[in-house]
Amino acid sequence: MRKYIIHFILVLFGVVYLKAEADPNTVNLARAFGRDIFELNGVPYLQPLVETLNATSNSRFFNQAYVPQKVDEPYFRIGAHAMLGFVRNDMKTYNPAMPAEPLDLGKLSQYFDIFNYTIKDTAGLMYYALKTILYDGIQKGMINVPKTSATILGRQDAVFDLPHKILDSLVRTMSVGGIEIFPKLPKDFQDSLINTIWRFPETFTLPPGADMNTIFAAVPQFEIGALFGTEMLLRFIPPVNMGENIGDFAFWGIGLKHSVSQYFEERYFDLAVQVVYQGTNLKNKVGVTNSDLRADGTFWDFNIHASKAFLDDQLNIYAGLSYELFNINSNFTYFIPIETQLKLGLRYGEWTHPNGSEDSVFVLYDPTPDFPGDTLPQTSNLRITNTNIKFVFGLVYQIGPVAIFLDYNISKFNIFTGGIEVRF
């Protein structure tokens, strides 16, 4: 799963392999454009997974509301809890955005002195020019932004097409207030801009998604009670490498449940309130460039739930209402994708026929002084905050000290949860 998250960072450009000398202007332009694509589309691409995964894992907190007011000695419950979340179809696509903005003289003056026709910031002016001609091209229908693209949960091919001829035409005719800007630029900058436009990648591929229909999570859980009608819940998974797709994942949680029905004079059913605080940590390195992902999440769950015992307390039917709040802080450190480094002349590779085979294999050579690769990593931060309201109903069956339970969660996502625990 996680490789598709990093894939969003890595696969931003078309796959073209050329042996060419790297042009600094084009490299800087591609780096800035790729960063803006990530920052514009990162949240809508990743948020459906974050919401579904955390709604799925942020469950399985209760299976009965009964908590004794006091006990002679503590009691314990140790169990394995599993959750299966179902992905909604509307969470599989989003509306992608291309870095583009209208030409504005105030913004232009940050990079170019419009009175003296002198350049203040060459790199900034070049990138601003690119974004303004893209905006102009979109408005004129010369450049098309895909209406939809896949989130990490979906599957769809989508590409930003930036034909060189169209970009060249747009940059030569860009104007504001009827005044053409390109002829006012210094001649050497005009030549540099046109040269960079023709070296710029013509396609920027958006990630196709992982085509996921379900999300699975599991966690061991420990509960102890009771003091003044209150139980404590603990769940914990130390950092474990869960494979190439996920990386190193750690998970922990603590909660308190308090009996409300202990205050009833007549108790026809049991009622309790509960608050749970959880945290997750994820670390992963993916791909030839060793792009790094570090994500920390915190989750609050506030719920009220009720249960009713039958068959001499062997069978319990329960239901609850939860309010959930989660915050995700993800930090990405990434390089220009290998495919684009090859296109820009930062790395070198070639197609070969090993041992005289008819099948061709692409060989990527190690960095050299002439082809050093991308040596300037970029960083981006994504913060996601969201809430969820969830209704839960289920049943638990007790066989001696062993309890088996199953429930269904209704919210933005449908979730089946279940498990087994030993009570002693």
Please determine, for residue 43, whether its predicted confidence score (pLDDT) is greater than 90. no
Q: Look at 189 and 50; give whichever has higher pLDDT.
A: 189
Q: How far apart are CA 51 and CA 8, in angstroms?
A: 18
CB 320 within 8 A of CB 304: yes
Q: How is residue 23 annotated by DSSP? A: P
Q: Which residue has the tokens 């494979």?
A: 243
- Cβ neighbour number for residue 54 with a 10 Å cutoff: 25
Between vectors from CA 103 to CA 97 and to CA 104, what angle results, nearest 5°? Answer: 120
Q: 36-50, 116-130, 201-215, 235-249: which has the minimum mean pLDDT?
A: 235-249
In percent, the amount of the chain with pLDDT more than 90 equals 43
- Angle of the 122-140 helix axis to the 187-199 helix axis, nearest 10: 60
Please determine, for residue 3, whether its predicted confidence score (pLDDT) is greater than 70. no
Token duo for residue 286: 């993916």
Categorize the per-residue pLDDT at 6 as very low, low, confident or very high, splitting at 50, 70 and 90. Answer: very low
- Omega within 30 of 0 (cis) for the link into 22: no
Q: How far apart are CA 185 and CA 187, in angstroms?
A: 6
Domains and CATH numbers, the chain: 47-88+218-335+377-423 (2.40.128.90), 97-205 (no CATH)
- The predicted model scores a pTM of 0.77
Query: What's the whole-number mean pLDDT along residues 393-406?
Result: 96
Token duo for residue 187: 């001649």
Rg (alpha carbons) of the chain, rounded to whole number: 28
Amino acid at 395: L
Q: How far apart are CA 172 and CA 137, in angstroms?
A: 12
Please determine, for residue 4, whether its predicted confidence score (pLDDT) is greater than 50. no
pLDDT digit string, tens, across residues 311-320? 998 999 999 9
Name, in order, each residue with C-beta under 8 angstroms of 333's C-beta and a sequence gap of 6 or more.
291, 292, 377, 378, 379
**What pLDDT score does 21 carry?**
58
Categorize the per-residue pLDDT at 2 as very low, low, confident or very high, splitting at 50, 70 and 90. Answer: very low
**What pLDDT score does 132 carry?**
94
Please determine, for residue 17, whether its predicted confidence score (pLDDT) is greater than 60. no
CB 57 within 8 A of CB 251: yes
Please determine, for residue 192, whether its predicted confidence score (pLDDT) is greater than 50. yes
pLDDT digit string, tens, across residues 357-377? 777 888 888 888 888 888 888
216 pairs with which residues across the strands? 84
For the chain, what is the mean pLDDT?
86
**What pLDDT score does 248 carry?**
80
**What pLDDT score does 11 carry?**
37
Query: What's the whole-number mean pLDDT along residues 332-346?
Result: 79
CA-CA-CA-CA dihedral for 57, 61, 63, 65, to nearest 10: -150
